[in-house]
Chain A
Amino acid sequence: MSTTDDAFTEQRHGALTALSDLFWRRPKLLVLLLLAPPLLWLGVIYVGALLALLLQSFYAIDEFTGLVDYDVLTLKTYRELFNPANLDIIIRTVLMATTVTLASAIIAFPIAYMAARYARGKWKAMFYLAVMLPLWSSYLVKIYAWKLILAKEGILNWLFAQLHLTGLLEAYLGLPVVGGGSLSISYTGTFLVFVYVWMPFMILPTQAALERVPVNLTDASSDLGATPWQTFRHVTFPLALPGIIAGSIFTFSLTLGDYIIPQIIGSSRLFIGQAVYAHQGTAGNIPLAAAFSVVPIVIMGLYLWMAQRKGAFDAL
């Protein structure tokens, strides 16, 4: 009797064995242990930093000494955030992000459609290469290159002159808001460079969504007598929409946070990123910088919430 018992209950010794037994008995413990480091990372580094930032924005700078007053929590900094000059910055940035996103979506769609439906084999590889290629070179080099292209004595102006269209360009630059001294000193220039730099982030998710649209659905649509436009309007576009929205999350948030492009190309009017940079530097106005950085977080929160309702995350 005792010999059979020994056969079943194998001799177990040592701490490791005990540990392994413990995990076997309580599987949830193992899961918790494995998840702890990434959760801590996310909690402390991500959420913790965000909360510290949020806390900073509830302090205010003392008007007289210029030092941050850490004794009182106040909404004074947020009131300051909504004074006309700062409100201008927020509105300017959001409008720019919106137009950049819309333009990117309109330009990216035909490219993505072409790649998803017609490019095969070698051409598909070529497509990926062409879309990704701009991402391989330095971001700064691209922006400086664009500055030269858009400059008053740059290649684009030369081209307009060759085509005898300088008058047209000047008429355009004479327009309020979008115009300026030259293309590189106008919102139009900033807009063009934003669209160029973020384009791959719009094309790729749109293409992924379009590839998932079943061809038999579009075939069925035309079989039932729909014109190509109707097929696009009622079948292709709604099915590709989650992909476009996913892309727009990238273009929108990247434009919202960028502070280098508007510094090099544009009329020196600040965008949110630049405002944060300016206030946290020598000024030591950390509360206002923190309040400014809360703005994109709130806007993106709303945006993601709406995007999620449209099913954008299924296309990622």
Chain B
Amino acid sequence: MKSILRTGTALSIAVLFSGQVMAQEMLQALGAGEGQVSIVAWAGYIERGETDPAYDWVTSFEADTGCKVSVKTAATSDEMVALMNEGGFDLVTASGDASLRLIAGDRVQPINTALIPSWSTIDERLQNAPWHTVDGVHYGTPYVWGANVLMYNTEVFGDTPPTSWNVVFEEMTLPDGQSNKGRVQAYDGPIYVADAALYLMKHQPELGITDPYELNEDQYKAALDLLRVQRTLVGRYWHDAFIQMDDFTNEGVVASSSWPFQVNVLKAGGAPVASTFPEEGITGWADTTMLHVDSPNPNCAYMWMEHSLSPKVQGDVSAWFGTVPSVPAACTGNELLGDAGCATNGYENFDKIKFWRTPTAQCSTGECVPYYRWVSDYVGVIGGR
């Protein structure tokens, strides 16, 4: 057993290094479509009008290219990595905490941007983003991105939205005269430690935090201490978007980190909520459409990547999911998203966003606290330790 595991590790390391050589092999010319393409995606990312007929960006693609699209939805980044390791798929919409793992594990192949005419229309801020570009080689096309905004109750905060995350980190009296104790929420995932680190970057500059995903022992300890204070204010942490919406409507929660998705749905239902980008900055996620290294249908896959960058698709996905398009042209003239959609979802705040990455032991500042410790310590913090 042990020797098998050791061989496996050795093999995967060998694969890792040989990846550098293989990185050169990318598709040089597009051929005819293979008639099908399979995509691993987040739920709601690839809609064919089955949930709501207005939201359909698959049917037209199938009619134009003859490539039948099949979707396998995944709920977590780990599931995506596992499915791609298994193989048999063409594309994946990977978030920043999965994309680099896929590249390092040699599960995805470099993209020939010359074969994607719309590449030049992509937001310049995303064209060379570090979560899909390694050593100048592109491993996918940006899909959409989003932010973890501060959602708040407009009846409590009135006309002045909160300007700082301190409403969820420190005990204080809210504008309606009551304490925030028991009325705020935080995300129930260890990655939230980064939000605390981001807050400390501004409020305790002496700690010297430069990147919330790269924390040394002292910085990490300070972040945990902040989260322990937060524990005394939070009744329940949010994990599921729909449960959070319920907590805002039925449980008296008035402020929390959230996704534009919840804000949009609650607003549509007439709830008195709004979202804001606090001065400390925010965390967010950016997804990339990546091509499997052994993709059986590369031509159709390239066609999909091109299609996914069209302003119509970008705008429609963003309207559906509360994200921001990677193609700026999608921000104007999209019926579903509306002209204010991009601004609402955070288009102007790209520079304020620290995109999700998996914290690793080796980091640019030397040695950092790895993700598995974020997990065990966040568990402890929520448990009151």
Cβ of B320 under 8 Å from chain A: no
B235 touching A182, Cβ below 8 Å: yes
Cβ of A282 under 8 Å from chain B: yes
Cβ of A238 under 8 Å from chain B: no
Contacts A181-B182, A184-B251 hold; do A283 and B375 have CB atoms under 8 A apart?
yes
When distances are taken between beta carbons in the complex, the residues of chain B under 8 Å from A270 are: 379, 382-383
Min CB gap B355→A, angstroms: 16
Q: Mark A61-104, 1 if CB is under 8 A from B, else 0.
A: 10011100011000000001000111011001000000000000
A185 touching B251, Cβ below 8 Å: yes
A283 touching B385, Cβ below 8 Å: no
Whole-angstrom CA separation of A285 from B188 in the bound complex: 18
When distances are taken between beta carbons in the complex, the residues of chain B under 8 Å from A147 are: 243, 246
Cβ of B207 under 8 Å from chain A: no
Which one of B2-10, B133-141, B146-154, B303-311 is at the A interface?
B2-10
Which one of B21-29, B282-290, B366-374 is at the A interface?
B366-374
Cβ of A53 under 8 Å from chain B: no
A151 touching B188, Cβ below 8 Å: no
When distances are taken between beta carbons in the complex, the residues of chain A under 8 Å from B235 are: 180-182, 185, 267
Which one of A117-125, A128-136, A273-281 is at the B interface?
A273-281
Q: Mark B231-247, 1 if CB is under 8 A from A, else 0.
A: 00011110110010010
Cβ of A290 under 8 Å from chain B: no
Give the residue of B6, B358, B362, B379 whose beta carbon is less than 8 angstroms from that of A282.
Answer: B358
Whole-angstrom CA separation of A85 from B385 in the bound complex: 6
Whole-angstrom CA separation of A285 from B370 in the bound complex: 11
Min CB gap B58→A, angstroms: 28
Give the residue of A151, A185, A263, A281 whose beta carbon is less than 8 angstroms from that of B78.
Answer: A281
A275 touching B379, Cβ below 8 Å: yes
B5 touching A288, Cβ below 8 Å: no
Q: How large is the interface on B (under 10, 10 to 19, 20 to 34, 35 or more residues)?
A: 35 or more
Give the residue of A66, A70, A263 whose beta carbon is less than 8 angstroms from that of B9.
Answer: A70
Give the residue of B236, B250, B371, B380 whose beta carbon is less than 8 angstroms from that of A66.
Answer: B371
Look across to chain B and name the residue whose beta carbon is closest to the beta carbon of A263. B239
Look across to chain A and name the residue whose beta carbon is closest to the beta carbon of B242. A144
When distances are taken between beta carbons in the complex, the residues of chain B under 8 Å from A153 are: 249-252
Contacts A148-B246, A153-B252, A281-B78 hold; do A66 and B188 have CB atoms under 8 A apart?
no
Q: Mark A150-162, 1 if CB is under 8 A from B, else 0.
A: 0111100000000
Q: Mark A34-73, 1 if CB is under 8 A from B, else 0.
A: 0000000000000000000001000001001110001100
When distances are taken between beta carbons in the complex, the residues of chain B under 8 Å from A66 are: 360-361, 370-373
When distances are taken between beta carbons in the complex, the residues of chain B under 8 Å from A181 are: 182, 235-236, 251-252
Question: Which B315-358 residues have C-beta < 8 A from chain A?
Answer: 358
18 other A-B residue contacts (CB within 8 Å) besides A86-B379, A153-B249, A184-B251: A66-B370, A70-B2, A70-B9, A85-B380, A88-B383, A89-B383, A151-B246, A151-B250, A185-B235, A264-B243, A268-B188, A268-B234, A268-B237, A270-B379, A270-B383, A278-B375, A281-B78, A282-B371
14 contacts between A and B (CB under 8 A): A65-B361, A70-B6, A80-B376, A85-B377, A86-B379, A148-B250, A153-B249, A181-B235, A181-B252, A268-B188, A268-B234, A269-B382, A269-B383, A288-B376
Instruction: Write the residues of chain B forming the contact surface with A, with a CB cutoff of 8 angstroms.
Output: 1-2, 5-6, 9, 76-78, 97, 182, 188, 190, 234-237, 239-240, 243, 246, 249-252, 358, 360-362, 367, 370-377, 379-380, 382-385
The 6 closest A-B pairs by CB, nearest first: A85-B380, A181-B235, A66-B370, A283-B375, A151-B250, A185-B235
Instruction: Write the residues of chain A forming the contact surface with B, with a CB cutoff of 8 angstroms.
Output: 55, 61, 64-66, 70-71, 80, 84-86, 88-89, 92, 147-148, 151-154, 180-182, 184-185, 263-264, 266-270, 275, 278-279, 281-285, 288
